[in-house]
């Protein structure tokens, strides 16, 4: 435990949360929620590097965002050519604004929690003087461990590293890094209300996760082509649920699909209360509910998932749902990204080419093979771990850093 030195006592109990992505924001807010339950007088400030940090808006958190949208949406590593586009769009201005705000607020910080990757950790290390706790969300020894330079940054800047799984935590400990595993907080971000969206327990259901970034408007076209094939070839009727991210625009989604014979139709007031904000309707009577705010329920009701999401794919696997994925057009969901994600999750993410026929065949096989679904589901649950991590982390931070 950190004892209260005179400098610590003089500081307000401000906690800085740094995050760099929609999934990372959700993980951070899950910890924030539990911290505020334990001490509602904590002053929390959030610094989302990618996006506007909308996840923080449900809590009394001051958010500092540069509001500059970058073409890569934070995924330069997956497609390096996007670096040039980001520079043109104001990358350096964004980073300077971010570090300036961080440096200014860091003087009053009691603790800094970094949720994301080591680039964000590097920015924090340059800007803050308070202890840093680093939640490494993307790296795992199940796929590829941290690079030597990343381990050096952790040793230099971190008081504690919270790894995403036990294997990675043990690996970091062996090289002298104080690391712990307290559970996979991604699984705490899922809220399941029990909503069934009017489906029968006997229905075969495919959940659709087109992604949370701009490439989702392109991904959905391939997904809908696959669904049309399933509708023709499946021996049993199939139902669908589409989970739309708050970062996507329903009008833009409608414009993306109109050329394929699909359109957006409105939902009733009764449907809206269930989270169904609209429907994707096709001329051959296919009708897919578009659901907002009930992501956990979509996963819960689905037997298999078409997933082009980062965090969403992992959460689906953690709930025991096999995920069928294909490379997207944008910077995030590349073939390499999916291959590494599949490796990390023990094959719970099944990577197919961007071919609607192959995607449809894989989904039909999974829907009609419950033993295969169960086997894959167990692997996904084991690799992701159970929920409960955010409460454990919050309790640890309160005790370790005297945040009473």
pLDDT of residue 51: 72
pLDDT class of 4 with cuts at 50, 70, 90: very low
The CATH code for residues 6-189+387-400 is 3.40.50.2000
Mean pLDDT of 81-99: 72
Contact 13, 43 (CB under 8 A): yes
Domain boundaries, the chain: 6-189+387-400, 204-384
pLDDT of residue 7: 40
pTM: 0.86
pLDDT of residue 12: 61
Closest-CA residue to 38 (of 13, 19, 70, 62) = 13
CA-CA distance, 369 to 364, in Å (whole number)? 9
CA-CA distance, 282 to 224, in Å (whole number)? 10
Cα dihedral 299→114→246→195 (10° resolution): 30
Contact 229, 357 (CB under 8 A): yes
CA-CA distance, 341 to 350, in Å (whole number)? 10
Structure tokens at 13: 């109990």
Contacts (Cβ under 8 Å, ≥6 apart) of 104 = none
CA-CA distance, 124 to 393, in Å (whole number)? 20
Of the listed ranges 188-202, 208-222, 310-324, the one predicted with least confidence: 208-222
- Give 252-288 pLDDT, tens digit per residue: 999 999 999 999 999 999 999 999 999 999 987 899 9
| CATH homologous superfamily for the domain 204-384 | Glycogen Phosphorylase B; (3.40.50.2000)
Q: Is the pLDDT of residue 95 over 70?
A: yes
pLDDT of residue 214: 78
pLDDT class of 125 with cuts at 50, 70, 90: very high
Mean pLDDT of 53-72: 80
- Give 181-199 pLDDT, tens digit per residue: 999 999 999 999 999 999 9
pLDDT class of 317 with cuts at 50, 70, 90: very high
Residue 395 buriedness (CB in 10 A; 0-12 / 13-18 / 19+):
middle
Residue identified by tokens 């625009």 is 249
Could you tell me which residue, 66 or 190, shows the higher pLDDT? Answer: 190
Percent of the chain with pLDDT over 90: 71
Could you tell me which residue, 95 or 276, shows the higher pLDDT? Answer: 276
Contact 244, 298 (CB under 8 A): no
Mean pLDDT of 346-355: 97
pLDDT of residue 110: 92
Contact 188, 389 (CB under 8 A): yes
pLDDT of residue 86: 67
pLDDT of residue 247: 78
pLDDT of residue 371: 98
Q: Is the pLDDT of residue 131 over 90?
A: yes
CA-CA distance, 157 to 147, in Å (whole number)? 16
Structure tokens at 72: 């890569």
Contacts (Cβ under 8 Å, ≥6 apart) of 400 = 1, 2, 160
Mean pLDDT of 150-157: 97
């Amino acid at each position: 435990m950190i004892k209260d030195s005179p400098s610590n006592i003089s500081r307000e109990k401000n906690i800085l949360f740094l995050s760099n992505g929609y999934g990372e924001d959700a993980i951070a807010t899950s910890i924030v929620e539990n911290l505020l339950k334990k001490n509602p007088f904590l002053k929390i400030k959030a610094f989302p590097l990618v996006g506007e940090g909308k996840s923080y808006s449900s809590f009394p958190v001051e958010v500092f965002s540069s509001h500059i949208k970058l073409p890569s949406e934070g995924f330069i590593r997956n497609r390096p050519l996007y670096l040039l586009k980001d520079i043109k769009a104001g990358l350096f201005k964004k980073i300077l604004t971010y570090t300036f705000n961080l440096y200014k607020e860091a003087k009053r910080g009691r603790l800094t929690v970094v949720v994301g990757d080591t680039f964000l950790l590097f920015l924090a290390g340059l800007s803050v003087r308070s202890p840093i706790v680093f939640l490494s969300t993307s790296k795992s020894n199940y796929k590829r461990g941290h690079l030597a330079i990343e381990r050096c940054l952790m040793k230099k800047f971190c008081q504690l590293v919270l790894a995403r799984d036990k294997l990675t935590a043990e690996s970091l400990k062996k090289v002298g890094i104080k690391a712990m595993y307290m559970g996979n907080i991604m699984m705490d971000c899922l809220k399941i209300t029990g909503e069934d969206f009017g489906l029968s327990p006997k229905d075969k259901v495919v959940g659709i996760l087109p992604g949370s970034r701009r490439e989702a408007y392109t991904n959905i076209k391939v997904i809908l082509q696959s669904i049309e094939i399933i509708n023709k070839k499946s021996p049993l009727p199939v139902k669908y649920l589409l989970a739309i991210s708050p970062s996507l625009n329903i009008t833009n989604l409608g414009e993306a699909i109109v050329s394929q014979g699909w359109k957006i139709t409105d939902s009733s007031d009764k449907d809206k209360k269930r989270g169904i904000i609209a429907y994707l309707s096709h001329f051959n009577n296919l009708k897919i509910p578009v659901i907002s705010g009930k992501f956990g329920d979509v996963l819960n009701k689905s037997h298999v998932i078409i997933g082009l999401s980062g965090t969403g794919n992992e959460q689906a696997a953690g709930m025991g749902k096999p995920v069928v994925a294909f490379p997207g057009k944008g910077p995030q969901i590349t073939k390499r990204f999916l291959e590494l994600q599949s490796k990390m999750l023990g094959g719970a993410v099944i990577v197919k080419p961007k071919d609607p026929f192959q995607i449809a065949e894989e989904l039909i096989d999974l829907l009609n093979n419950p033993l295969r679904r169960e086997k894959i589901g167990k692997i996904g649950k084991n690799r992701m771990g159970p929920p409960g991590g955010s409460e454990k982390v919050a309790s640890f931070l309160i005790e370790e850093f005297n945040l009473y």
